[in-house]
Chains A and B, each alone.
Chain A
Amino acid sequence: MRPRPFFLCFFLPSLAAALLLVAALGEIAQYAFRVFTPGSLEVGGFTLDNFARLARPIYLSVLGDTLLISLATSLFTLLLSYPVAYAMVRAKSDFLRSLIMLLAVTPLFTGEIVRTYAWILVLGSNGFVNTVLKSAGLIGAPLGLLYTRFGVIVALVQFSMPVMIIILATTLAHVDRNCERAAANLGAGPAQVFRHVTLPLTLPGVVSGTVVIFAWTMSAFSTPQLIGGGKVLMISNLVYLQGLSSFNFPFAAVLSLLALAVAMGSLGSIRPFVSRLELKAAIN
C-alpha cells in the first residue's frame, strides 16, 4: 500500500463536516415522523400523519405551483441567457465581452435580499414600471405586478440568469470553431450553422444548466416571500409558515423532505440523459 502521510488529519475534519450535515438532515427526517402537539414545540411519538397531511389539496397545489414556477423560470432563463452567453463569448471586442460579463455576473454577488428588494421597487404599484408606463400614458390604473406568479417569475428569471449565463458561456467557449467553419465552408448560412452545429454541441450545457436552475428555483424563498406576499406560495414559504410561524416542526420537516426529494429526483433523472448527450457531443 502506498504511504498516506496526511490521510488521517485530512480525513477527520472532512468526516466531521459530513457527519454534521447528516445529523442535521437526520433531525429533519426524525421530526417528520413525530406527532405534532398544537401550540407546543414538544413532539410526541411515531406517526405517519404528517405525511398523510401532504395529500390535502392545498399542499398538492403548492407543490404543483412550485414545480410550475421552477419550470417556467428555468425555461425562460434559458431562452434569455443563451443570447447573452453567446454575445459574451463571441463578441469581437474585448471591452464588449468584459462589459457583458460584468453586467451579467455582478448581480450574483450582491445577495438575494438586495436583489429581491430591488424587484419590489420595480414592480410595485408606485414602482418603476408602473410609474414609467403611467407617465407614458400607456396605462390608467397601476398594473398589479406584485403578489402574482408573473412578478415572482420575472424576478426569479433575473436571479437565475447569471448562473445560466456562466454555464452556457463555459460550454460555448469549448465549442470547436473549426466545426462551425467547416459547416460554413460547405455552404451553410449562419442560422444553419447555429442550428445544426453550435446548438447541438452546446446541448449538454443547455440541459444541465436548465436542470440546475430548476433545482435552484425549487428552493427559492425570499423572492416568493417578499414578492409573492403570501399569495404565491412555494414549498419554501410553507416550510417557514409551518416551521417558524406555527411551530409545527414535524410538518415543516415533511415539507422540507419533499422539497429535497423533488430536487434530487429531478437532478438524478436527468443525469443519464446528460451523459449520453455529452458522449454524443464528444463523438461529434
Chain B
Amino acid sequence: MSARLARGLRASLFWGPVALILVYMTIPAFVVLMTSISPSELLEFPPSGFSFRWYERAFSYPDFQNAFVNGLIVTAFASSLSLLIGSAFAYLVDRYVFAGRAALEAVLASPLIIPHFTTGFGFLLLGADLGLGQSYAVVIATHVVLTLPFVSRTVYVSLRNLDPALERAATNLGASPFEVLRRVTLPLLRPGMVGGWLLAAILSLTEFTASLYVTAQRTQTLPVAMYTYVREYTDPTIAAISALLIIFTTALMLLANRYLGLRRILAIDAH
C-alpha cells in the first residue's frame, strides 16, 4: 500500500470517529433549535411546520420575565462582589505570606469540589437560621462563594504575568503604594479582571443546583424558573428559551474567539 494511501486511511480512521463524536456533542442543540420552531405542542420530528409561538410565549410568560430580571440583579451584584473579593484575594496570595494562608486558600477553593447542592443546602440552612429566609442577600452570597475560585484564579494568572519592574519603577518615581495600585497594577490587570468578571457572570447566570435551594419564588433565577416550567407544563416553550440561550452563547463565543483569541485564553494552542 502506498504511503499516501496509508496516511489517508489513517486520517479517515481518525477523523471519522472524531466527526461522529462531534455530532454526538451537537445533536442536543440541534434538536432544541428544531423543536423551538415547531408549531405543535407535542414533540415531533421533523416539525410539521414553522412557528414562533413558543418564542412569543417565552417572552410574555411573567415568571420568565421576573426570573430574567432576578438573574440580572443577582448576577450583577454577585459577579461584581466576586470580582472585588476575588481580585483582592489573588493579590493577597500573590504578594503576601501570612499565617493561615494555606487554610484560607483551601476554603475559598473548595466550592470547586463541593457539590453545588451541598453549598446551596448549607446556605439555605444558614439563611433560615439567620432569619433571612430566601432573600436576595442569601442568593447573592451563595453565588459569590461559588464564583470566587474562578475569578481569583483568573486574576492570579494575570498577576503572575505582571512585570514587577513596572511597579518598582513607579515606586521609584515617588508613587505611593495606593497610586501604584491604582495607576499601574490595576490597569495592567484589566484583561484578567474583565475575563474573571465575565466568567463569574456567566457562571452565575446559568447556575442552577445551588440556586434551586436558596431561591424563593420571588427571587428565582432563570434556570430555576425554567426547571419549574418543565415540571409544570409540557409544551416546547423551554425549547424556545434554550434556543435563544444557545444562539446567544454561540455568538458570544465566536466574538470572544475572533477578538480575544479564545484558544490562547484557554491555553490550548500548541507551542
Contacts and interface: CB of A to CB of B under 8 A. Distances in A.
Interface stretch (A14-22, A44-52, A195-203): A14-22
B238 to A, nearest CB: 5
Given A5-B178, A6-B91, A226-B230, A122 B31 contact: yes
- Select the residue from A15, A17, A172, A249 with max chain B CB neighbours within 10 A: A17
Interface in A99-130: 100-107, 109-115, 117-122, 124, 126-128
- Select the residue from A13, A28, A89, A110 with max chain B CB neighbours within 10 A: A110
Nearest to A2: B96
B183 interface: no
A263 to B, nearest CB: 5
Interface string A36-76: 00000100000000000000000000000000000000000
A190 B53 CA distance: 54
A236 B117 contact: yes
Nearest to A252: B121
A49 to B, nearest CB: 19
B268 A89 contact: yes
Given A27-B129, A115-B28, A121-B28, A14 B116 contact: no
A219 B108 contact: no
- Select the residue from B42, B43, B178 with max chain A CB neighbours within 10 A: B43
Contact of B267 (A31, A111, A173, A253): A173
Given A28-B121, A173-B267, A222-B209, A6 B113 contact: no
Contact of B206 (A26, A111, A239): A111
B115 to A, nearest CB: 3
B27 A128 contact: yes
Interface in B111-129: 111, 113-119, 121-123, 125-126, 128-129
Interface string A207-221: 000000001001101
A263 B28 CA distance: 28
Contacts of A14: 85, 88-89, 92, 104, 108
Q: Give the interface size class of chain A.
A: 35 or more
Q: Tell me whether chain B's interface is mostly helix, strand or loop, or mixed.
A: helix
B266 A219 contact: no
Contacts of B239: 117, 121
B44 interface: yes
B206 A112 contact: yes
Interface string A234-259: 01100110011000010011001101
A222 B250 contact: no
B196 interface: no
B25 interface: yes
B43 A126 contact: yes
Interface in B215-248: 223, 226-227, 230, 238-239, 241-242, 245-246
Contact of B32 (A24, A105, A117, A219): A117
A222 B119 contact: no
A170 B267 CA distance: 6
A104 B22 contact: yes
Contact of A104 (B25, B213, B230): B25
Nearest to B243: A114
B271 interface: yes
A44 to B, nearest CB: 15
B110 to A, nearest CB: 7
Contact of B88 (A10, A106, A158, A222): A10
A141 to B, nearest CB: 17
A253 B245 contact: no
Contacts of B238: 113, 117
A87 B18 contact: yes
Given A109-B252, A173-B268, A24 B126 contact: yes
Interface string B1-24: 000000000100011011001101
Nearest to A5: B177
22 contacts: A7-B92, A9-B88, A10-B92, A16-B85, A20-B126, A21-B110, A24-B145, A102-B254, A107-B25, A107-B29, A110-B245, A111-B206, A111-B208, A113-B227, A114-B245, A117-B238, A117-B242, A118-B28, A121-B35, A190-B10, A219-B115, A249-B125
Given A111-B205, A244-B213, 16 more contacts: A6-B91, A11-B88, A14-B85, A18-B108, A28-B121, A106-B249, A121-B35, A127-B43, A170-B266, A172-B268, A215-B113, A219-B115, A222-B208, A239-B118, A256-B121, A257-B118
Interface of A: 3-7, 9-11, 13-18, 20-28, 31, 41, 80, 83-84, 87-90, 97-98, 100-107, 109-115, 117-122, 124, 126-128, 131-132, 158, 161, 166, 169-170, 172-174, 177, 190, 215, 218-219, 221-222, 226, 235-236, 239-240, 243-244, 249, 252-253, 256-257, 259-260, 263-264, 267
